[in-house]
Amino acid sequence: MEPIRWNNLYNETELYKACLRVYTKSLFSWRKALAVSTDQNTLYDFAQRGLHNLDALHKSLSERRFHFRPGVALRRRCGKKARTIYLFPWEERIVDLLLYRLLSQALRRWFSPNAYAYRSGGAGLDRRRRRIPGQLRDGRRSRLQS
């Protein structure tokens, strides 16, 4: 396998897909879209100049100038446990999803067909969980028939 290079991996279309996913996921959980990160912007602030922001993001990625910025640490209590949640600027969230999707596609053939965690494109744990009842039924039938 030849080495994975950014020029061969990066695709503007995938950037827009990742952005659309970040937008739509947050719209169904609108409180997340109101979260302010280190750049003091919410998703709505980012989306207000969406095309301009995405163009700037695309240029910085294609020219290899993009740098991740720090996140804001928020401490929350979840039951008895104290958790720290880091909120990153929206550009970082989009690029994070973009990298996940690009690397998952590029490395797909290296993954075991039995490994379902961390897969994109519908091959994750949810897909595996949907198969379990059928496999259990098939397993019971084969034991009853023997």
Q: Any idea which of 13-17, 59-63, 139-143 has the lowest mean pLDDT? A: 139-143
Q: Give the number of C-alpha atoms closer than 13 A to the C-alpha of residue 29, restricted to the C-beta side.
A: 6
pLDDT over threshold 60, residue 95: yes
pTM score: 0.72
- Mean local confidence (pLDDT), 30-56: 84
CA 9 to chain centre: 16
Q: Is the dihedral of CA 16, 66, 110, 118 positive or negative?
A: negative
% residues pLDDT > 70 (the chain): 79
